[in-house]
Amino acid sequence: MGEPVLGPRIRQVEEVGGDDLTRMLRDLPDAVLVVDATGDVRWANTSTERMFGRSIGESVGMSGLDFVHPEDLHFVLLSLVSIQGKEVGAPIEVRLRTPDGWRLVEMKGSPITWFDAGCVLLSLRDLTDRRRFELAHNHDARFRAVVQNAAVVTMLVAPDGTVMSCSGALSRLLGHDPELVEGRPLAHLVEHRDRHALEAALARSAQGSRSIAPVTVCVNLSRKMGSASVPFELAVVNLVDDPTVGGYIITGHDITDRMRLEEELSYQAFHDSLTGLGNRALFQNRLTHALERTERSRDQLAALFLDMDGLKEANDRYGHAVGDALLRSMGAVLVGNIRKADTAARLGGDEFGVIVEDFDHPGEVFALAERILDECRQPMVIGRTTVSATVSIGFSFSEPGITLDELMSHADRAMYTAKDRGKDRFEKFEEWMRAATESV
């Protein structure tokens, strides 16, 4: 029976001398090096020299850990420790610094105690070009289909802000042709007023890394053909140091509905649902800012407190539907008599408030109070019921140094004075009212 075909070849390899084996190892296309327990290079082959741009003589004695990306260093250290006691360690992918920038390599190691205690033989295979090819040619068709048909916009943006590639959602949501967007600055898609926010988000992301949560920013993106812009929330992930990406991955989704909901919730938080007027929180906020303005300008403002005189009786006699109608009517009276610059609010129950600013003479406030009183005296027909509810009004003028609480307390005291004096009237705060309050 003849000798197996591979027999002579096997014998030829076995007959290769030590110098020849050393030459084979030295000339392997993968980088091969030996590091000791501290990570210092003890030996390297020619491919290592080509990868790192240093001669073997320069490499020996250096710390191999100096070439590892800071974010991958802990991973490498754990791997080197776990290799001990194994025949071959599990391969890991890490980024290494080379003269051409960061490269993605597969690192695989084996302990070689015969060389020296704690030493590890490492094999490094450069994966960068292969990964770039896979990404460029959409190697995974299913993943490509997911990205292209997802409801969110996905873009790869270069460190200088240029769009390198984008998903089909850009066309579906904004009408832009991806081929015309690619190669142009991302800022061209963003409304002018929001471009500074985008630049700030990219700058924050540049200071971070992929180990940190994405940087988010809300901007308005323009539609094709100049139609109304669309609010988007963009999430920026920094993959600039990833050799296979080399940029920022930016995903964005339309937040029109979310913003509408936030506006509705904000409106509800500061407005009375029954009358549509502002509520106490809005009134106090507006009054605080108005007082700050008057302190700077030395102008005056007036705070009016109004209390409906017959609401409780109407509720008890006719029911809450009639009472609610009276409250809505009171809101309409205030809206119909104040200026756009003024603020009307329902403070709670049957109490209302008005802030009047920018008047030339206190008589304007008196005249406003008279108009409100006159309209509230008019009977209102609700179904088959005719009902009216007059109002008592108290107001106070601001003065230098007065606080929010003091101004509101003065207007409240004046309003109760109007009630004590027979209702259906207005009273201006006077100093004797303060003394009367303090004596109680």
Q: Which residues are catalytically annotated?
A: 350
From the number of C-beta atoms within 10 Å of its C-beta (0-12, 13-18, 19+), residue 216 rates as middle
In angstroms, the CA 119 to CA 77 distance is: 13
Phi-psi region of 114 (alpha: psi -120 to 50; beta: other; left: phi over 0): alpha
Which two structure tokens, joined as six digits, stand for 375? Answer: 């309209």
Q: Which helix (H) or strand (E) holds 319?
A: none
Alpha-carbon distance of 151 to 142, in angstroms, equals: 16
| Residue 43: φ, ψ to 5° | -160, 150
Q: For residue 251, how many C-alpha atoms fall within 13 Å in the half-sphere facing its CB?
A: 7
If phi over 0 gives left and psi between -120 and 50 gives alpha, with beta otherwise, what is residue 27? alpha
Contacts 24+ apart (CB under 8 A), 218-221: 218/255, 219/190, 219/191, 219/194, 219/195, 220/190, 220/191, 220/193, 220/194, 221/174, 221/189, 221/190, 221/191, 221/252
Residue 425: strand, helix, or coil: coil
- How far is C-alpha 250 from the geometric centre of its chain's CA atoms? 13
What single letter denotes the amino acid at residue 62?
M
| Beta-carbon count within 10 A of 288 CB | 11
Measured between alpha carbons, how far is 338 from 335 in angstroms, rounded to an integer?
6
Q: Are 405 and 411 in contact (CB under 8 A)?
A: no
DSSP symbol at 360: S
Distance CA 362, CA 366 (A): 7
